[in-house]
Amino acid sequence: MSAERILERSLRILAVFVAVSAVTSVTFFHPDEHFQTIEFASVKLGLSGASELPWEYAAQLRPWLQPALYTLIGKVALLLGMTDRFHLLALFRIATGLLSFLAFRTFARVAVRELPRDRMRIAFARSVPLFGFLPYLFVRTSSENFAGAFLALALAVAWVPGVCSRRRALVLGVLLGLAFEARFQMAFAALGLLAWLAFVRRVSLLAMLSALAGGLGILLLASVVDAWGYGEFCFPPWNYVRENVVNGVAASFGREPFWAYPLLVSVNVFLPLALVSLAAMGVAAWRFPRHILPWVVVPFFVAHSLVSHKEERFLFPLAPVVPALVALAFSKQTARRDDEDDPSGASDNGEAKPVVDAATDGSRYPLAVRLALALSIPVMLVHLTHPIGFRPQLHFASEVARANLGEVTVFVPPGLDVPDYPFLRGEKLRTATFAAACVPPGEHLMFSDVPEPAPYVRCAGGSVAGVPVASELPFVTDAAFVTLATRAANTWNALRDRGWPVPYLRFATILRVSVSASGDVRDERKAKEAGAR
């Protein structure tokens, strides 16, 4: 079976995973996934007010291209009678997942032809469904995911051998402009790609000018969209640089050293595969310094390493490129059987590369890479049925919405940041910070960083009973396991307190809500204290 046929089978499997993830992935990986896109669209949909948007709205530093797409989808859905906010969120994830998958499929079909060695192509084609983080990331409504989709499309256009015509260069410029308008940091990847075209592919000056014209055209179009979003003409890219770089706002969220990214992924559930992906950048650049992929990913990674504030999600735009990058870096080679094509990816002869038969010359990765891919599969399957995210409380919130409890107040301990989402207020949800003086009698929710059960919910429809339903930990009902995991998390978090550039590790257990008869609920802790006295 040829590499192309293997890839098509792999893409069908990946499509199923992405579709399931789009429906089940209720949580956010990071609050910005919601606040910088969904909440912006929420204002245009009339579901919340501009005064409730984060500080980026007043500073006019976020692009409106992605929120505009969600606004269009939301308006159609509202006209058709879809008013459930969680259904709207699912619709946004489905649309984003479709864009991400189609962009990746386009890129993958080019990569399986243009990777410079036979074994690389087969290794890439076979391993596509094994990169378990792809389905989860493809459905995130984040600017990083949106930008990654357009970067993948731009790479697909630039990588194809042959003369780079002005029309093709124009399309390339448009795609790079869209990637930039989704996330301004994509300028580093775009500059790397344009530099590769100029110095390795050696395209004509007219082609380079056409690409520049395509990018500028998107900037002009985006300025109109931004003016619609903010109500006046502005230039968000400059506002972003002014606030985050000149005024140092980004650094106020934390400063990490240049070498912090390998540690920042240390609490990622896909840790082995994340480390392999990071290593692939350096190995691919060392083995194939003239290849298009290192010219794009290395400048992007170095630029983000130089910036003082770092988060692992900042690297997510590279996710669609990672399977091809790993194949380029780690697939084993045999000089006797490998073809002699130009490993730079800059060949202009237009001839098809021979592809070996997978049955007689199968792909091989080093043992460490194969183990990382194997370990990602069960983690991916957990994500498909029990998605893990920065806001696991959304599982709880969706249960509350379905239970029709009336007005619901959610209490959280001070150390666990659970903001009030304006977009979800239509589902009668509120949040309030936990404080002993204002907590009413009620049922309990166990938090990992709270020493005893804390009253969590109050509703207008009666008392609330709960049973464990979702958690950022498996085996949530096993008290011994939760205790062990809590101690491990506390030990890990102590490293941050000592100055290590690692993220805090937190998790929470969520309860399923059911309503009992109205009436006072006895506070068992107070009853025990009274009995002791």
Same structural domain for residues 254 and 311? yes
Mean pLDDT by 10 residues, the chain (533 residues): 92 96 86 88 90 87 95 95 88 96 97 90 94 95 95 95 85 96 95 95 92 95 95 92 83 80 82 93 94 96 91 93 95 48 51 42 77 92 74 58 54 47 64 33 35 39 41 49 66 78 61 39 37 40
Same structural domain for residues 319 and 247? yes
The answer to whether 410 touches 456, Cβ cutoff 8 Å, is yes
Q: What integer pLDDT is reported at residue 470 of this predicted model?
A: 40
Same structural domain for residues 305 and 398? no
Total number of domains constituting the chain: 2
Same structural domain for residues 414 and 375? no
CA atoms of 403 and 395, how far apart (whole Å): 13
Q: What integer pLDDT is reported at residue 518 of this predicted model?
A: 37
Of 342, 358, 385, which closes a domain?
A: 385
Q: What predicted TM-score, i.e. pTM, was given to this entire model?
A: 0.81
Adjacent-strand bridge partners of 429: 408
Phi, psi of 185 (to 5 degrees): -65, -10
Q: What integer pLDDT is reported at residue 413 of this predicted model?
A: 44
Same structural domain for residues 381 and 401? no
- What sign results for the dihedral spanned by CA atoms 282, 383, 92, 419? negative
In the chain the first and final C-alpha atoms are separated, in Å, by 78
Nearest Cα residue to 159 out of 197, 186, 198, 189 = 197
Q: What integer pLDDT is reported at residue 428 of this predicted model?
A: 53
Q: What integer pLDDT is reported at residue 84 of this predicted model?
A: 83
Phi, psi of 306 (to 5 degrees): -75, -30
Of 363, 385, 407, which closes a domain?
A: 385
Q: What integer pLDDT is reported at residue 486 of this predicted model?
A: 62
Structural domain containing residue 436: 393-532
Sequence-distant (≥ 6) Cβ neighbours of residue 372 within 8 angstroms:
272, 273, 275, 276
Q: What integer pLDDT is reported at residue 106 of this predicted model?
A: 97
Same structural domain for residues 380 and 397? no
Q: What integer pLDDT is reported at residue 431 of this predicted model?
A: 47
Q: What integer pLDDT is reported at residue 77 of this predicted model?
A: 95
Same structural domain for residues 73 and 185? yes
Adjacent-strand bridge partners of 444: 455
Nearest Cα residue to 95 out of 19, 185, 40, 147 = 19
Q: What integer pLDDT is reported at residue 519 of this predicted model?
A: 35
CA atoms of 147 and 142, how far apart (whole Å): 9
